[in-house]
Amino acid sequence: MVKLNHHYAKLSGGYLFQEVARKVAAFRDKHPEASLIDLIDLGIGDITSPLPPTIVQALESASREMGSRETFKGYPPSQGYLFLREAIVENDYKNLLISPDEVFISDGAKNDIANIQELFSIDNRIAVPNPTYPVYIDTNVMAGRTKLPLKNGGYGGVTYLACTEKNGFSPELPNRSCDLIYLCSPNNPTGTAMDRQTLQKWVNYARENKAIILFDGAYEAYIRSPDCPRSIYEIEGAHEVAIEFRSFSKTAGFTGLRCSYTIIPHALKITERGTIHSLHALWKRRHETKSNGVSYPVQKAAAAVYSKAGAHEVKKLIDSYLQGAMSLKNNLEKKQYKVVGGVDAPYLWLKAPGTLTSWQFFELLLEKAHIISTPGIGFGSAGEGYVRLSAFGHQLEEGALRLTRL
């Protein structure tokens, strides 16, 4: 008789963004005239601008190569083509002692963040910021690394690192030993980035506790504050305790192409029962077994991001999102809204007025201002009373105007 993975039954409700979509659809059903109403989506986590021209040209050129016997490419190298891995090291990790062999190309940072936990025993205790990206928790629930759900929406067996107004929305060191630590800078959803001193404390903690930091840098290209590192490998000692995930999705618009990369230094090792294990070697073995890599045209398009023209176009794209975020933030602050983020990330963390819950504020914005947001409670219990706004959407000025009228 077939048995199911009973850990899936512990998952709370539906995936956050699907639940938001369901409520928006219900709103449209309730209001047939909504087709005439310009709903403004400030909850969107997907990019909305088209691919930069240089990237499109590279994609087209590589696709034509696939149509010729002389230049056709079959299965790509499981770790990724060397031309892309070299470009990543030269541009994103220059002088950070990362080699092309330590770069793994994949079809999405979300996939790698979800799959990396396969390397570790379910007995490891995880620590996650609260609020944070739901995938960190949900994938560990599926694997059986957590205990039963708690009344506050969390899970037993997890160390939650509260990110609140009191601590500047920056996760503080736990008062107990943890094994796998998820950090995200800039943070999704709060939009806040960790400074050098804070990251150094985390690296020191990981070294002292023989822990591993799983560092999500999907939004690193948006960082503008000079004291906030874009890579954890800018911190002394990080090569021995950290894995870093990055993506072309939110920087160069690859959400529809799917391309990302993970860095696992050779120096990152675990000693268990007297045997030294290389996490790089283990991940490489997994990659070779479970992935056929990312297509040649997509990798050529990713490499074009680092060309002179591509880099200029991508920076222009990122700057436009940041300018929209700053404008939205400034307009909200003028009306005495409490809001953070929007400086080093395309997200703003907006506090609900009075005693409104996250979902109540979401529904108020939808019903009264025809604005779609993302309820903060969906990112963790510490997100209650907040919503996330995104600068990826259109009509930001009109959205700010509607918010200020509430």
Distance CA 211, CA 6 (A): 28
Give CA separation, 332 vs 168, 192, 222, 325, in Å. 19, 17, 21, 11
Q: How many CB atoms lie within 10 A of CB 330?
A: 12
Q: State what percent of residues in the chain have pLDDT above 70.
A: 98
Low-confidence ranges of the chain (pLDDT < 50): none
Residue 18 dihedral angles phi and psi, to the nearest 5°: -70, -35
Q: What tokens were used for 223?
A: 């960082």
- Domain 6-50+310-405 falls in which CATH fold? Aspartate Aminotransferase, domain 1 (3.90.1150)
Name the burial class of residue 24, with classes exposed (0-12), middle (13-18) and buried (19+) by CB atoms within 10 angstroms of its CB.
Answer: middle
Quick one: DSSP state of residue 149?
B
pLDDT for position 350: 97
Contacts of 84 (CB under 8 A, 6+ apart): 105, 299, 300, 302, 303
Cα 207 versus chain centre, distance:
24
pLDDT for position 34: 64
Distance CA 96, CA 235 (A): 9
pLDDT for position 14: 66
Distance CA 155, CA 133 (A): 15
Amino acid (one-letter) located at 295: S
Domain boundaries, the chain: 6-50+310-405, 56-307
Q: Given CATH 1.10.286.10, say whether it is the number of domain 56-307.
A: no
Contacts of 159 (CB under 8 A, 6+ apart): 125, 126, 127, 128, 174, 176, 178
